[in-house]
Structure 1
Amino acid sequence: MTSEASIVSITDLTRRLRWLWLINAAVMPWVLLIGIIPAELTGNVAWLAIGYPIFYIGVPLLDRLLGQDPNNHSEEDVPALEADPYFKRALFFALVGSIAAWFTGIYYAAAADLSWLGLFALSIACMGFGGGLINLGHEMGHKRGRSDRAGASLALGIALLPHFNVEHNRGHHRAIATPDDHASSRLGENFYQFILREQPKTWIRGFSLEKERLNKLGKGFWSRDNEILPGIIIGALFISAVGLLFGAKILGFVLFASWLGHMNLSLANYIEHYGLLRKKDASGRYEPPRPQHSWNQNALISNLFTFQLQRHSDHHAHPSRSYQCLRHFEDVPQLPWGYYEMFLLAYIPPLWFRVMDKRVLEWAGGDLDKTNLHEPKRHYYQQLTEQFA
């Protein structure tokens, strides 16, 4: 039980506004499909994309309106919050709702016999399903419970990203904020350069890490101990069912929308460690990952929709800690706005560099050797740091 003294420090989303987690789980997946209503009433399929601006413009507006949740709980609160079953139920409720809404979107696409333009518009909105399922799989995949692992495999299988948790837990978490990490963006690297490196290499690393682990156990890829295999099977069953039931056109829609969901993951990876670098010790080894190696944010609404993923500094300091237990740190790099707003910024490299480069350089004290630098732009940043100094 938490003490009366500590209750006042617990964040709004774990105490006063905790009911919002169930509202988020029950309602938000269906908002992505809200464009079906005006599209059917007007006959204009462009309305099918409206779920995208609702999230990517509406959420930043709500963040600006409702502000931050910088409140914190103490370490003494963590055991009680971890033991509270409400938060796990909300997570699984969100998983069921997201899959149900995604399947509804697929069925509508087939039943309405949408044109290619209509399918494109709907896929823009439905990219949120892939991003949401990956985030849920990420949260569950950091736990060792059987139900959590099964939920992670289901989420990532439907999202068509079965390798993610192996790559993320054993690759990204070990290599974050170093030039060796494909999922950590570099100072001066734009989003489009980043995804050309990140997307293929994280797939390769995920499968390589699991193959290496299985080889050490004397087991092959098709072993029951393969942690990627359940997601592969679920994903294969999913796309096979779509193709058999609805044909190649709808299968193409599903594959494209799923890839757009992977783009959401890439956007998150891009903004979470941009330009940050772990120091090396005297032996040449990188220091352990610390809260200071991730960008942090406390925007209330986008924290709700991302299951507190924005409290990324504490997540990397304590990877197994559940979303409701993540804390805010004052002495870590802070993003100026919530993730959804930063996603939009990342799409436009000149704006991204204008907002973020000065923050990276200030955090590094103007020392390029303390940044994870995109080497082709070293000369440019050397000139910039001279002005900074």
Structure 2
Amino acid sequence: MFERLPSNWMLVIKSIGYWFWLIPVLGIPLSYYWSLNSQYANAWPWLVVLVVFGVIPLLDFIIGRDPANPDEAVQVPQMEQQGYYRLLSLITVPALLGMLGWAGWVFVNHEAWSWVGQLGWVLSVGTVTGAIGITVAHEFIHKDPQLEQNAGGLLLAAVCYGGFKIEHVRGHHVHVSTPEDASSSRYGQSLYAFLPHAYVHNFLNAWKLEAERLKRKSLPALHWRNELIGWYAISALFLLGFSLAFGWLGALFFIAQSVVAFTLLEIVNYVEHYGLHRRKLENGRYERTNPTHSWNSNFLLTNLFLFHLQRHSDHHAYAKRRYQVLRHFDDSPQLPNGYAGMIVLALFPPLWRAVMDPRVRAYYAGEEHQLTDSQLTHS
């Protein structure tokens, strides 16, 4: 639909379209108000989940891909200096935290829902804190300004996944698409085999990295300067706040939405790197990360919702590039739908393998030994 528009037009459209993040955030209070006095009261709390994972994948096919890359010589320097894009992402922090607190109050005090409605509410809120909150946090933790670093840490603490701030930048980006990376899924590995390993090693790797950093400063791992301790302490304060304000149900809500949010993150990790690996060189090191080591998805609509997260190939090649100037590469391996559709597909391993395994094999055509070696390495 937009693929033939001039690049300059697309950049203008996208500068406005990045505000789409407000749609799922506002979808939470709207679904509550529409459920009031409705004979389908327990259905409305599922609204955001159904739209994100049902409607958006269809719209991705209809609206199509985004062909626009900013000009490196002129547009990229200009766009990276425009405070508009930074402000747009920073506004998400108070909006998401305010929504989260209000949603906890609704969960505890709204008596019209049965457990079915409450489950839909938790899944919808966790989808927003995961899809929008963690996505924006991911953008922030790759940037140098302390304001953005702290904003990213706060959003991650709000879903009890502060270790991601450390492990993702200093672990995942170093070891991506190698056997050392717990966030890179293997060829033939199901989502349900991937998730438990990812949960555990996200925390363990973060702790190891912080312990090594502090050791270089001649400090013990159990020290107030351990960043991991600080962010999880903030998570504990969130939990305490929800408990004091809303009782044990408030605590349950906070933990449950956190689990939904960070599970969504790890499913995205599974999708982004499935079956791809960096080749090992003769010197024993892995080749340098480049845009061919991550799955790319250039569907316009989901990219607007997710601040260009789906241009993941460019992100891994140039991690500090801001979201508004991430580029699409035709030679990167391409997903057949946006992340929302691929997440749904990943929940059904036989369907996932039927769609994705041929794409992985096609990517390694002519060097199938690479794929075989990868399978053996990760068995």
Q: TM-score w.r.t. structure 1 length?
A: 0.90
Rate the CA distance shift 1:369–1:180 in 2: closer, same or farther, 3 A.
farther
Letter paired with 1:87: Y
Percentage of identical aligned residues: 32
User: Structure 1's 365 and 11: CA in aligned 2 closer, same or farther, altered over 3 A?
Assistant: farther
Q: Secondary structure at the match of 2:161?
A: coil
Q: Which residue of 2 aligns with 1:102?
A: 100
* Count of residues paired in the alignment: 370
Aligned to 1:270, what secondary structure does the other structure show?
A: helix
Q: Which residue of 1 aligns with 2:18?
A: 21
Superposed counterparts of 1:1-389, under 5 Å: 9-10=7-8, 12=10, 14-22=11-19, 24-42=20-38, 44-76=41-73, 77-113=75-111, 115-131=114-130, 132-221=132-221, 223=223, 225-365=225-365, 367-371=367-371, 373-375=374-376
Shift of 1:57: 1.1
Q: Deviation per CA, 1:283-312, whole angstroms, max 9, x where unpaired?
A: 111011111100111111100111101000
**Alpha-carbon displacement from aligned partner over 1:18-41 (angstroms, at most 9, x marks no partner):** 12223x243331213433134322
Assess if the C-alpha contact under 8 Å between 2:7 and 2:67 holds in 1.
Answer: no
What CA deviation, in whole Å up to 9, does each residue of 1:240-276 have, x standing for no partner?
A: 0101111112211221121011111011100111101
Unaligned runs of 5+ in 2: none
Give the residue type in structure 2 aligned to 1:67: G
Q: 1:175, CA displacement in angstroms? A: 0.7
Distance 1:224 1:35, change over 3 A: same
Q: Are the counterparts in 2 of residues 182 and 201 from structure 1 also a CA contact under 8 Å? A: yes
CA distance in 2, matches of 1:19, 1:152: 23
Distance in 2, Cα, partners of 1:201 & 1:366: 34
Q: 1:329 to 1:241 in 2, by over 3 A?
A: same
Provide closer, same or farther for how the CA distance between residues 374 and 11 of structure 1 changes in structure 2, counting only shifts above 3 A: farther
Structure-2 separation of matches of 1:61 and 1:252: 33
Deviations 1:315-371 (A, max 9, x none): 001001110010000111011111100001000111100110000000001544323
Note if contact 1:33-1:48 (Cα within 8 Å) is conserved in structure 2: no
The SS at the match of 1:16 is helix
CA contact (8 A) 1:126 1:257 kept: yes
C-alpha distance in 2, partners of 1:27/1:357? 34
Shift of 1:115: 4.5
Aligned partners of 2:58, 2:348: CA distance in 1, in Å? Answer: 19
CA–CA distance in structure 2, aligned partners of residues 233 and 299 of structure 1: 38
Amino acid at match of 1:140: F
Q: C-alpha distance in 2, partners of 1:373/1:11?
A: 43
Cα deviation code 1:18-72 (max 9, x no counterpart): 12223x2433312134331343222532321221011111211221221110221
SS in structure 2 of the partner of residue 41 of structure 1: coil
| 1:110–1:68 CA distance, 2 compared to 1 (3 A) | same
C-alpha displacement of 1:8: 5.1
Does the C-alpha gap of structure 1 residues 344 and 25 become closer, same or farther in structure 2, counting only changes over 3 Å?
closer
CA distance in 2, matches of 1:231, 1:283: 38
Report the CA distance between 1:139 and its aligned residue.
0.4
TM-score scaled by length of structure 2: 0.92
User: What letter corresponds to residue 65 of structure 1 in structure 2?
Assistant: I
